[in-house]
Amino acid sequence: MTSLAFAMPAEIVDPSVVAPPGDLDSNEPPMESYQHLIQMLLLLESLELFWKERTDYFAAGNLTIYFSPRQLESEHFRGPDFFVVLGTERRPRKSWVVWEEDGRYPNVIVEVLSESTASIDRGLKKQTYQDVFRTPDYFWFDPQTLELSGFHLVDGQYQPLSPDASGRLWSAQLGLFLGVEKGQLRFFTPAGELVPAGQELAQRAEAAEQRAESAEQRAARLAEKLRELGVDPDTLK
């Protein structure tokens, strides 16, 4: 991801004069790599499938967050790799404009580290998420080293999260664990079950269908064997 990109004005001016409109386009560059893109999409897809009945949240990735109506439109924040805002309407947005969203900032942020952004994600962005956004849960993940770190906001300061026995970190905001599975950052239920993405759900459905078909075939063979022995299987039901 890119770095912070905002310049403080020389003086505070009347926001009614310079405040940018609420319907702002996102201003994000492409994801740094295919690996970054797949990771962001995996988090989005699995959470949206898991929360398919919910309408009170917004999840996005690589989307600009505009957070100060007292600044010019060119003064903005480069969006996180992945973020979730709770207590809002679930609908498409061109960007996240804080002053048009009742002052809401992300409840959860995840950054995917790279060589060019790791120092910023661990430093300047972490400080901004703590001091400006007040985002309760912040995580970063390095797809190369598989480093996963997380922080929870306590009295205005980020405190490191301790992993459980499986090395996973708890997000109190999401009610889910974050952990590494097959080299990718994934969500896990409180019981430790993997939150599946679309392809995995399809594979599970196919496996269940095959199991049902196999059980039906076994029952048919058993019924045929009983008939060969002179027993009507229907009388055994």
pLDDT, tens only, 97-114: 998 999 999 999 999 999
Q: Output the pTM of the full model.
A: 0.75
User: Among the residues of the chain, which ranges form H helices?
Assistant: 15-18, 34-50, 118-122, 124-128, 198-228
Are both 115 and 231 inside the same structural domain? no
In this structure, is residue 127 part of a structural domain?
Answer: yes
Domain holding 226, by residue range, is 201-236
Are both 115 and 229 inside the same structural domain? no
Q: Is 73 or 127 the better-scoring residue by pLDDT? A: 127
Are both 96 and 123 inside the same structural domain? yes
Are both 56 and 173 inside the same structural domain? yes
Tell me, what's the pLDDT at 9? 33
Are both 129 and 59 inside the same structural domain? yes
Tell me, what's the pLDDT at 224? 75
Burial zone of 169 (CB within 10 Å; 0-12 exposed, 13-18 middle, 19+ buried): buried
Across the chain, mean pLDDT equals 82
3-state secondary structure of 222: helix
Would you list the DSSP string of 85-151? EESS-----SSEEGGGTTT---SEEEEE--TTTHHHHHTHHHHHIIIII--SEEEEE-TTT--EEEE
In this structure, is residue 9 part of a structural domain?
Answer: no
Q: Is 127 or 76 the better-scoring residue by pLDDT? A: 127
Averaged over 110-134, what is the pLDDT?
94
| Total domains in the fold of the chain | 2
Are both 66 and 48 inside the same structural domain? yes
pLDDT over 90 (residue 187):
yes
pLDDT over 50 (residue 17):
no
pLDDT over 80 (residue 4):
no
The CATH number of the domain holding residue 82 is 3.90.1570.20
Are both 87 and 59 inside the same structural domain? yes
pLDDT, tens only, 59-99: 999 899 988 766 555 555 678 999 999 999 999 999 999 98
